[in-house]
């Protein structure tokens, strides 16, 4: 197309003001407001301009497009007004899937968030005295209840909340060890996804990292030899997302606690996963919990709210009251604090623990689902979707805890395996992602695998409808 022709087409494009005065766009402006409609119209006109410049549209089509501007404008408005953050169905079987928002919350938790967020609340207000209160009072009382008598007998334990466990580690190190040394085993200098690396957080906290031992073996004597007058802390970091096996050695936490006590320094443990109960009942062994840690004599323990605890994203610091008070006075605490929504979610989640109603916590319930139960649902679903073109069978497999917890613990499960005559596994999985709500599945060995452990039972029908729709 010659540039003269293009100029002629450009000239035919109406101005925004002009287009907005046409009846259909006036209607849209009334419904969606002038600014929204104007933005959408600008986007549509810009697309036409691009098409003209690229020579991709000629006179006749442009005339048609300009006569029907309202359609694309309305579509653009709808696209812009749609939420980007949306619910999805997690059929991966990864219970704490960091990319899918880790722990889903219980209905009761949502109600408590709603109830306190939709109006004013006593977040920082003491109803008895009528004076200013502390926001962490709401959850500290429940943590006190959960932390057994046995631990409290010889010391007062309190808990504070920050934005996530990375923030908890930063705050604890900065409060307790800035300008001093922190001793860590070389086998525990971990990276937990994204940019959380122990040496980096240590540097940001202003504490000096003192590495001891080797990758596979660190003895109590290694810690002991490294202690000097600048030492403030011994730090134990939970190897959340990996394991070291073979020729290995690591002193038990209780031995580290005894050493710290003897030498007048503190022992801190970054637990990460932060289970509040013994998970052996759900078939997960070797995952230390917060109470074990405190019972072994750890002064300060840090853990996530949205991993094995099953609550909202948060970082929790539990430990000796005096040390926690030091952290509360640190101005970093103010910068890292959480909002009322998190307090409400955490309070409601903790209440389920106090009531021993562990099944009310969705991730704990998912962990406890039996192979049989999942198998029955899988068989029913597989039968509904199978067709001449779509082979659907139920096979044995594993669910994963995820979220950097219990890396070697898997839960036996029953998977739905799909293979299609015409669509590849990747195409099927992409189709599922395009469904409403999107369904996220695993692809392995040319098959799409669906694990119903992480699918809520009331979503089974949605999954089956979606599969039938995309394979029809």
The site for ligand PLP, by CB under 6 A, has a size of 14
Burial of 189 (0-12, 13-18, 19+ CB in 10 A): middle
CB count within 10 Å of CB 444 equals: 12
Contacts with ligand PLP in 313-342 (CB under 6 A)? 315
In the chain, the largest separation of any two C-alpha atoms, in whole Å, equals 89
Q: Is 238 in the site for ligand PLP (CB under 6 A)?
A: yes
* Binding residues for ligand PLP restricted to 152-171, rule: CB under 6 A: 164-166
Closest approach, Cβ 361 to ligand PLP, in A, equals: 17
- 300 near ligand PLP, rule: CB under 6 A: no
237 touching ligand PLP, by CB under 6 A: yes
Pick the closer one to ligand PLP by CB: 198 or 366.
Answer: 198
User: Closest-CB residue for ligand PLP?
Assistant: 272
Binding mask 447-466 for ligand PLP (x = CB under 6 A): --------------------
**Minimum Å distance from CB 98 to ligand PLP?**
7
270 binds ligand PLP (CB under 6 A): yes
**Taking the complex as a whole, how short is the minimal distance between the CB of residue 241 and ligand PLP, in angstroms?**
7
User: Using the rule CB under 6 A, is 404 a contact of ligand PLP?
Assistant: yes
**Bridge partners (DSSP) listed for residue 319:** 158, 300
Cα-trace Rg, the chain? 28
Q: Does 143 bind ligand PLP (CB under 6 A)?
A: no
**Minimum distance from residue 193 beta carbon to ligand PLP (Å):** 7
The minimum distance between CB 86 and ligand PLP, in angstroms, equals 22
Could you tell me the smallest distance in angstroms from the CB atom of residue 130 to ligand PLP? 36
| 471 lines the binding site for ligand PLP (CB under 6 A) | no
C-beta of 119: minimal distance to ligand PLP in Å? Answer: 29
Q: How far is the CB of 389 from ligand PLP (least distance, A)?
A: 42
Binding segment toward ligand PLP, per CB under 6 A, in 34-42, 123-131, 143-151, 233-241 = 233-241
Least distance to ligand PLP, CB of residue 102, Å:
8
231, 265 Cβ separation under 8 angstroms: yes
What x-and-dash track marks residues 357-396 binding ligand PLP by CB under 6 A? ----------------------------------------
Task: Report if residue 290 touches ligand PLP, rule: CB under 6 A.
Answer: no
Min CB(265)–ligand PLP separation in Å: 21
Binding flag, residue 90, ligand PLP (CB under 6 A) = no
- Residue 288 or 431: the one with the smaller Cβ distance to ligand PLP is 288
Cis upstream peptide for 437 (omega within 30°) = yes
Among 192, 277, 361, 452, binds ligand PLP (CB under 6 A): 192
Q: Which is nearer to ligand PLP, 314 or 323 (CB)?
A: 314
Shortest distance, CB of residue 216 to ligand PLP, whole angstroms?
A: 19
The smaller minimum CB distance to ligand PLP, of residues 362 and 404, is found at 404
Where does this chain bind ligand PLP (CB under 6 A)? 164-166, 192, 196, 237-238, 240, 270, 272-273, 304, 315, 404
């Amino acid at each position: 197309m010659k540039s003269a022709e293009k100029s002629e087409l450009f000239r035919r494009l109406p101005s925004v003001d002009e287009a907005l005065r046409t009846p259909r766009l006036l209607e849209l402006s009334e419904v969606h407001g002038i600014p929204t409609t104007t933005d959408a119209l600008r986007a549509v006109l810009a697309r036409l301009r691009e098409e003209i410049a690229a020579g991709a549209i000629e006179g006749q089509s442009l005339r048609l497009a300009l006569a029907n501007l309202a359609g694309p404008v309305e579509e653009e408005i709808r696209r812009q007004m749609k939420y980007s953050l949306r619910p999805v169905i997690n059929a991966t079987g990864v219970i704490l899937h960091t990319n899918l928002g880790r722990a889903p919350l219980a209905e009761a938790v949502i109600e408590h968030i709603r109830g306190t967020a939709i109006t004013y609340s006593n977040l920082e207000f003491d109803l008895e005295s009528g004076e200013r209160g502390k926001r962490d009072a709401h959850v500290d009382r429940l943590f006190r209840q959960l932390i057994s008598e046995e631990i409290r007998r010889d010391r007062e334990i309190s808990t504070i909340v920050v934005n996530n466990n990375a923030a908890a580690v930063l705050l604890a190190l900065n409060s307790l060890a800035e300008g001093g040394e922190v001793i860590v085993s070389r086998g525990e200098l971990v990276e937990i996804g994204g940019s959380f690396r122990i040496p980096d957080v240590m540097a940001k906290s202003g504490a000096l990292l003192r590495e001891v031992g080797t990758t596979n073996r660190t003895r109590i004597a290694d810690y002991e030899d490294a202690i000097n007058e600048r030492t403030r802390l011994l730090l134990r970091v939970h190897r959340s997302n990996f394991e070291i096996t073979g020729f290995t050695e690591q002193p038990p936490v209780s031995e580290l606690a005894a050493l710290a006590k003897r030498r007048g320094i503190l022992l801190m443990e970054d637990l990460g996963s932060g289970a509040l109960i013994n998970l052996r009942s759900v078939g997960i062994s070797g995952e230390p919990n917060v109470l074990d840690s405190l019972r072994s004599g750890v002064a300060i323990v840090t853990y996530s709210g949205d991993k094995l605890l099953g609550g909202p994203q948060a970082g929790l610091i539990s430990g000796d009251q005096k040390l926690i008070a030091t952290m509360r006075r640190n101005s970093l605490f103010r910068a890292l604090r959480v909002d009322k929504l998190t307090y409400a979610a955490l309070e409601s989640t903790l209440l389920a623990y106090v009531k021993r109603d562990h099944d009310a916590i969705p991730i704990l319930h998912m962990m406890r689902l039996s192979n049989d139960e999942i198998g029955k649902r899988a068989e029913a679903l597989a039968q509904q979707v199978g067709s001449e073109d779509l082979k659907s069978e139920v096979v044995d497999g594993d669910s994963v805890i995820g979220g950097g917890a219990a890396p070697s613990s898997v839960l036996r499960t029953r998977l739905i395996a799909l293979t299609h005559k015409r669509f590849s596994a990747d195409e099927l999985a992409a189709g599922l992602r395009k469904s409403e709500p999107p369904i996220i599945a695993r692809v392995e060995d040319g098959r799409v695998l669906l694990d119903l452990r992480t699918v809520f039972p009331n979503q089974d029908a949605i999954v089956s409808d979606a599969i039938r729709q995309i394979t029809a």
